[in-house]
Structure 1
Amino acid sequence: MMTEPLRILVTNDDGVDAPGIKLLEKIAHEISSDVWVVAPSGNQSGVGHKFTLATELSLDQRDRKTFAIDGTPADCVAIGMTHVLKDKPADVVLSGINRGQNIADIVHCSGTAAGAREGALQGALGIALSQSMDFSNEHLIEWECSERHGVAAIRSIIENHRNQDIYYNVNFPRCAADDVSGIELVPHQRFSTSAFEYYPSDNEGHFFVTILKTPTPLDDDADCVRLLEHNAVTVTPMKLQQTDFEAINALDGKLSLAD
């Protein structure tokens, strides 16, 4: 009996013309013949799960299965699932491949992670993918690990995914493909404090919000160390349900509006 191929929707936050999404589209075509792309028309890095609300957007059809939206990754997935593919929404949403790692608490502001998260919220299997790089040399990024191991990593997640209330955050190390130590399921690093802080501009009265240093200590078993020091392809299952039920039970009956 013939079965239909998986329908895959590809998005990213670096923009529809970024090299990482071109690589991810190529990888997706090795997994399925039914691949669609709906991605931001320009760079949307760091926007998190922002939606462009109360503002008109436009949909630019680049070819039969490629569309660009002047919005965010979350916009793209929502429109991809409910409009472009409304007659048959995607089974899998792949977001990336991001230029630079998305690890630790940085996932909270990641547009790449948001693309996968919105995919999962829309009912698909969401997978965010990022290629690690050395940010001290922002002009140098090697895609070899993603290119060599991307198909296997994605297929492995698809074949073993069971929980509909999660999405996955995948990072590829910055090393030669032959030097990858393996694929590891790891928690994301919880920093001791936020990594974001004030940085003054040379222009008077202006400043930047940036990451100057990595908060420490780091957990040897979490994504930062396993990816950056052990050359592992890291996979972190992320929950959609963010409620702390232990806190609900611990606080039950203790909160009051009485003076």
Structure 2
Amino acid sequence: MRILLTNDDGIHAPGLELLERLAAPLADELWVVAPAEEQSGAGHSLTLTRPLRIRKHGERRFSVTGTPTDAVMLALGQLMKEARPDLILSGINRGANLGEDVTYSGTVSAAMEGALAGVPAIALSQCSMAPGTSDGVRFDAAEAHGPDVIARLLDAPMPPRSLVNVNFPPVEASDVRGVKVCAQGFRDYSRLNIVERTDPRGFRYYWFGTGETVETPGHRTDLEVVADGFVAVTPLDLDLTRHDQLDNLARRFD
């Protein structure tokens, strides 16, 4: 098996180093193509207004001066064009990628780019011990439970243009309660927390907070599953069409 690793925290991120260790036993050939610098929140953005550069760090190990999407595109279209990967693993992200985070996340977007190219892809994230921060991130849960989760997903059929988003809970490895397959959750961003402060020169600046979790019956979403101490495994589809609205809207134009 030929596996491509990438992330959005950058080529030197500890989560990527851990992912290399977890993926090595599964791979006959392991490639790393990741952003040169942190690209958290880059989403599925693509660099079109400046040239990209590739730097080699070792055998089958490269960094790209661009976004996670750039890194995957250059891996598939340039560095690995003679022998494409059988699997893309993106992460392990420093912090959660839950709910609507998937639309902002460079980690998930790198996996999306693989899925668009027809390569099975899994995004992996380690939630923070201190919610809302990255300082409290320890990768114990991901390190202990990641190999089994990845191995089980390798045997699962993945439809075209789909990927799997995995989030490890912010607990000690021994306190992980299990694995739950669940839906993507949502936060109520009508209550978005925006913090206004003043810098030493007297100018205002702002920090974005997060919304509140929208509770669902039976705690079935990734937000709630992780909060309950389980590993959240969420299948995602790149088809954003609201199929249930097609006929309704079509009648407006009859």
User: Does TM, scored on the shorter chain, surpass 0.5?
Assistant: yes
Matched ranges for 1:110-121 at <5 A = 110-121=105-116
Residue 122 (str. 1) matches residue 117 (str. 2): yes
The partner residue of 2:73 within 74, 78, 93 is 78
Match of 1:247 in 2: 245
Structure 1 residues 161-170 or 192-201, which shifts more? 192-201
| Counterpart code for 2:242 | D
Question: Aligned partners of 2:80 and 2:190: how far apart in 1?
Answer: 38
**C-alpha displacement of 1:197:** 5.4
| Number of residue equivalences | 249
Q: Does the CA contact (< 8 Å) of 1:196 and 1:209 recur in 2?
A: no
C-alpha separation between the residues in 2 aligned to 1:222 and 1:135?
17
CA pair 57-250 structure 1, distance change in 2 beyond 3 A: same
- Matching of residues 40-79 of structure 1 within 5 Å: 40-79=35-74
Q: 1:186 aligns with which of 177, 182, 185?
A: 182
| 1:58-95 C-alpha deviation (Å, 9 max, x unpaired) | 00000111000110000000111111100111111111
C-alpha separation between the residues in 1 aligned to 2:177 and 2:222?
14
Partner of 1:226: 225
Shift of 1:245: 1.6
TM-score (norm 1): 0.90
Unaligned runs of 5+ in 2: none
Q: Deviations over 1:112-143 (max 9, x none)?
A: 10011011111111110000112466433211
Contact 2:188 2:211 survives alignment (8 Å)? no
Q: Is the 8 A contact 1:38 1:76 kept in 2?
A: yes
Quick one: which amino acid aligns to residue 167 of structure 1? L
Structure 1 residues 241 and 21, CA, compared in 2 at 3 Å: closer, same or farther? Answer: same
In structure 2, relative to structure 1, the CA distance for the partners of 1:195 and 1:28 (3 Å cut) is farther
Supply the distance in 1 between the matched residues of 2:64 and 2:191 (Cα, whole angstroms): 30
Q: Evaluate the alpha carbon distance shift between residue 190 and residue 253 of structure 1 in structure 2; reply closer, same or farther with a 3 A threshold.
A: same
Paired residues for 1:1-259 under 5 Å: 6-133=1-128, 134-135=130-131, 138-193=134-189, 198-203=194-199, 204-211=202-209, 213-219=210-216, 220-228=219-227, 230-255=228-253
What are structure 1's unaligned runs of at least 5 residues? 1-5
Q: SS at 2:212's partner residue?
A: coil
Letter in 2 for 1:246: D
Q: Identity of paired residues, percent? A: 33
AA partner of residue 199 (structure 1): V
Residues 30 and 151 in structure 1, CA contact (< 8 A), matched pair in contact too: no
SS in 2 for 1:243: coil
SS of 1:148's equivalent? helix
Shift of 1:209: 4.5
Asked if structure 2 preserves the Cα contact closer than 8 Å seen for 1:31 and 1:151, the reply is no
- The verdict on how the C-alpha distance between 1:136 and 1:117 changes in structure 2, with shifts beyond 3 A counting, is closer
Is 2:118–2:161's contact at 8 Å kept on the other side of the alignment?
no
Partner residue of 1:3? none
Give the Cα–Cα distance (whole angstroms) in 2 for the partners of residues 158 and 107 of structure 1. 21
TM norm structure 2: 0.92
